[in-house]
């Protein structure tokens, strides 16, 4: 069995994303519990499960970002300035 360390795995990625390869991957097992595994010990299936969890997390972050962006744009459309608090804005309907 070959020993693969994290540096070797990063070389296998072959793109500028290699620097972002985590030391551990996280996924949910059948019971729904979060599991963390060192990436060099992960199975191909565990990588697939980690991709699913990362996609879920990305969707959550994307929706949060969109909601904040909508709020920001509506605040600006209502004439708000940078130091105005959300509670002080005269919102336009």
Q: What are phi and psi of 35, to 5 degrees?
A: -120, 140
Percent of the chain with pLDDT over 70: 89
Any residues with CB less than 8 A from the CB of 10 and at least 6 apart, and which?
A: 18, 19, 21
pLDDT band (50, 70, 90) for residue 54: very high
Please indicate, yes or no, if residue 2 is contained in any of the structural domains: no
Q: Which two tokens stand for residue 19?
A: 């620097």
pLDDT band at 42 (very low <50, low <70, confident <90, very high): very high
- Within a domain: 93: no
pTM listed for this prediction: 0.73
Work out how many domains the chain is built from and give that number.
1
pLDDT of residue 20: 82
Residue 19 pLDDT class (50, 70, 90 cuts): confident
Residue 1 belongs to some domain of the structure: no
Tell me whether residue 91 is in a domain: no
Q: Is the distance from CB of 66 to CB of 58 less than 8 angstroms?
A: no
What is the domain range of residue 31? Answer: 9-83
């Amino acid at each position: 069995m070959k020993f693969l360390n994290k540096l070797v795995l990063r070389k296998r990625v072959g793109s500028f994303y290699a620097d972002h390869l985590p030391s551990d991957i996280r996924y949910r097992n059948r019971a729904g519990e979060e599991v963390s595994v060192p990436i060099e010990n992960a199975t191909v299936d565990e990588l697939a499960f980690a991709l699913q969890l990362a996609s879920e997390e990305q969707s959550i972050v994307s929706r949060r970002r969109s909601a904040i962006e909508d709020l920001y744009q509506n605040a600006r459309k209502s004439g708000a300035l940078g130091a105005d608090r959300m509670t002080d804005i005269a919102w336009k309907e």
